[in-house]
Amino acid sequence: MSPNDDWRPTCSVAALRARAGLLAEIRAFFAERDVMEVQVPTLGRTAVTEPQIESVRTAAGAFLQTSPEHYMKRLLAAGAPSIYQLGPVYRAGESGRLHRQEFTMLEWYRLGFDDQALMAEVSELIDRLLGPAAYERMTYESLVGTVEGEPSELDLAYAEAVAALGPVRCFVTDYPADQAALARVRGDGADSRAARFELIINGVEVANGYHELTDAAELRARMARDNQQRLDAGREPMAPDERLLAAMQAGLPDCAGVAIGVDRLAMLAAGASSLAEVMPFADL
């Protein structure tokens, strides 16, 4: 593309039509199940504390949200039914074939579901969008082994193991308790495991879901551990989201939630090799 053509979209009109159809199918899927669509802010006063995620901060000191999770959980605590959001999210420093600083996320929460029930619903959605196929299941340990080290080393080992899976749909389950993020933990001591799953399709990480933690005190403790890891790595700690913690203290109902990268789904549906082929403007 010549410099005079850099105004052009990075994907074709045909890819845009296919993407629009994918979004319409997603909305139809949830309408059939009476899951309500919501729109929460993409700009907020706080950011996530998770060590592996960096947020984009504005000049005014606010943060572009990496996920609608905190706002959506506040809605659930206030009495909302099962809900979903489909829209843009932001993560600093992410670029490449499968990464962009701004991308489209589908996130939904189902009241009364656990991680097992949610995996079944995720499978139904994926089959609708990509066509039916068999699903495998692997524990985190069977996929990665007993790797130890810093979070960055564990992330690298996981990414390499995922890429080596090949053309398969696979749910990864039973994450170590120290990788629970906002999932509840089952069991005690060495036998404890996070009620968390990820869906891998053809070597691409597509979905990350939890049977959600509802204990505000435990979440505060996890946020403190996250910030200690950030400090140990020479990175800025993030202030805890006190309004999320207050909502959980008021009572987050039993639920399971999952986030799916819609651009990656569109890429897989199109048989494309990069996000740029299915995003209208993938270059900054």
Q: Closest Cα to residue 95, out of 67, 152, 156, 54?
A: 54
DSSP string of 43-111? EES-----TT--PEEPTTS-EE-S-SHHHHHHHHHTT--SEEEEEEEE-TT--SSS--SEEEEEEEEEE
135-139 vs 169-176, strand pairing mode:
parallel
Q: Give me the tens of pLDDT residue by residue for the chain, a chain 284 residues long.
A: 566 888 999 999 999 999 999 999 999 999 999 999 999 999 999 999 999 999 999 999 999 999 999 999 999 999 999 999 999 999 999 989 999 999 999 999 999 999 999 999 999 999 999 999 999 999 999 999 876 767 677 888 888 999 889 999 999 999 999 999 999 999 998 889 999 999 999 999 999 999 999 999 999 999 999 999 999 999 999 999 999 999 999 999 999 999 999 999 999 999 999 999 999 998 77
Sequence ranges of the domains in the chain: 3-277
What is the SS3 assignment for 157?
helix
For the entire predicted model, the pTM comes to 0.95
Q: Which fold has domain 3-277?
A: BirA Bifunctional Protein; domain 2 (3.30.930)
Other C-beta atoms closer than 10 Å to the C-beta of 155 total: 14
Q: Please state, as a whole number, how many other Cβ atoms lie within 10 Å of the Cβ of residue 269.
A: 17
* Cα–Cα distance, 68 to 82 (Å, whole number): 14
Measured between its terminal Cα atoms, the distance across the chain in Å is 15
